[in-house]
Structure 1
């Protein structure tokens, strides 16, 4: 464990935690969750009375040799107008033996990396092996990160990008093409971004569905990361009704927070017992996809265990870098 606290800016977090290690950290997190070895208190999501922002606080301890990790932050949907990430946060890690401060990390960077990396784990676990086209609904920080992360686990050859603002979707498509060497196209409607594709990721803060189930091709895998409150529903009811399996990061958390799941349980379309934890699908304890024609949906609202796994991966990388100097 570090003798002096580690302090990392967003740039340092991104440099220390590359995509492969970020994905590995999320495999560790969800494997530990499947084994029931994680300290995971309930998360706090509190809509502000003053505006449309949401305050949040996550806490977790992943293992005996890694200390407690807490993340506090704010979701500000209006940040898109200033071309800023919608999520701002700070992550604090404590020494596992003494409880003393071990690290302070830029939580926005940690959140971006761990969220997209967890989606990559979900894609690798749930999607067809030859899935090579991705539809992105959303063009912000998370959409770009999802293209990078998913490209590490599937042989992507083309990406379609939609968001309401033409300039934003065009810019993101251009960046994906330049940074990943893929064919990337900005499209004018969400239907064009999703219809017929084997992979669809919704990375928005929308309170109304941007993805309709009628557009999904047989065999499609859907990743949704923006429905983290009961009133946010990126995907419609038919998307879940068409799904052979609905996979979540944690059933109890999803049943309380994930808008489409909350609505489906209220309508009687789903029961909490129907929800498959990603960790159990990852470790083979439960089966999500049973055939090539199955539509599988993964809805993530985020867990403190993900932040803990990513934070300690950053700390370990920072220690290695310091030892080399």
Structure 2
């Protein structure tokens, strides 16, 4: 058996340019919406004394693509250690023989596919002229969201908020060097979201950081850090105000997404009213009817996203063989 190829974080980033990553995620959600994908429930391994845990995501994008499994850890205490909070590996099997064909850096794939999925959501959920973006959380995901959303919307202005003034200023400076629109670091969440067309929540907060009273008419909220039942970046009022609550995968969101679980328990949301992103992409559901509608999107992250991104990396490598 040939040893599987390992793709480092740098190689993943090189293969998953913003455009490639976005198309991989569009493919993932369309496959999920059509029923082509196979995706068992994700599993959670708890027990870390600092709230750390491990998660397993597995999926098959289509009958002719091989199974993919990601084993990833989330360690919130790593920030104090000067380490990333997410580490992991993704294993890809051959579609016919089942032999391992690749192992990829799981953190790099997670960052890329999460922000790219938000761009796919923004593209179909946001009003057509949306160009004012607020990002709450200015770590790797916050910066990745600016880059990804800029690929699907003509951004005019971006405002970043993060608790650490130095980090938010550094993030704004880094992004300003890349783009022609203004990226501003602001000292409060209120200043960040005022009149924003798009709000990306890139925190892992257990307490709501955003309320409906802060939102401009027509705003689209993208929440990516509420991947556990106790994490709730968006207040219940946001979901109550939303014309549509859209998710990556309804069964996963109902079991794991803190804002969705809270809104269901409070009776401000019904399971039958939850819309899946794949259904919007396929035209089977409508998320936005009017420009003034508030639309909320919650991503918990699902295995089909990792499968689509991993195969995109492998296909990129196959098209560009390593020179010897």
Task: Normalising by structure 2, report the TM-score.
Answer: 0.97
Equivalent position of 1:139 in the other structure: 138
1:160 to 2:125 alignment: no
The residue correspondences of 1:1-325 to structure 2 (distance < 5 A) are 5-322=4-321
Structure 2 SS opposite 1:284: coil
Q: Is the 8 A contact 2:25 2:120 kept in 1?
A: yes
1:61 and 1:69 in contact (8 A); partners too: yes
Sort the Cα spacing of 1:285 and 1:83 in 2 relative to 1 into closer, same or farther, 3 A: farther
Q: Distance in 2 between matches of 1:93 and 1:84?
A: 26
TM-fit CA distance, 1:5: 2.2
CA RMSD of aligned residues (A): 1.4
Counterpart Cα distance in 2 of 1:84 and 1:124: 33
User: Which runs of 5 or more residues in structure 1 are unaligned?
Assistant: none
* 8 Å Cα contact 2:245/2:295 also seen in 1: yes
Instruction: Give the SS at the match of 1:322.
Output: coil
The offset of 1:65, in angstroms, is 1.7
Provide the C-alpha distance between the structure 1 equivalents of 2:147 and 2:61, rounded to a whole number of angstroms: 26
Distance in 1 (CA, whole Å) between partners of 2:232 and 2:223 is 9
Distance between the aligned counterparts of 2:150 and 2:299, measured in 1? 19
Instruction: Show CA shifts across 1:56-104 (max 9, x none).
Output: 0000001122111000011112333355432211100000000000100
- Aligned to 1:196, the other structure's residue is in SS state coil
What is the aligned length?
324
Look up the SS of the partner of 2:64 in the other structure: coil
Work out whether residues 6 and 315 of structure 1, in 8 Å CA contact, stay in contact via their aligned partners in 2: no
| SS at 1:179 equivalent | coil
Normalising by structure 1, we get a TM-score of 0.97
Distance in structure 1 (CA, Å) of the matches to 2:138 and 2:81 = 14
Does the residue aligned with 1:77 lie in a helix, a strand or coil?
Answer: coil
Q: How big is the shift at 1:323?
A: 7.0
CA contact (8 A) 1:288 1:296 kept: yes
Asked if the contact 2:243–2:293 (Cα under 8 Å) also holds between the matched residues in 1, the reply is yes
Distance 1:17 1:67, change over 3 A: same
Offset at residue 13 of structure 1 (A): 0.4
Which segment drifts farther, 84-93 or 302-311? Answer: 84-93
CA distance in 1: counterparts of 2:269 and 2:224, whole angstroms: 19
Per the TM alignment, residue 278 of structure 1 is displaced from its structure 2 partner at its CA by 0.3
Cα distance between partner residues in 1 of 2:67 and 2:236: 37
Partners of 1:286 and 1:119 lie apart in 2 by: 18
Displacement of 1:210: 0.9
**1:49, distance to aligned residue in structure 2 (A):** 4.1
Deviates more, 1:298-307 or 1:269-278: 269-278
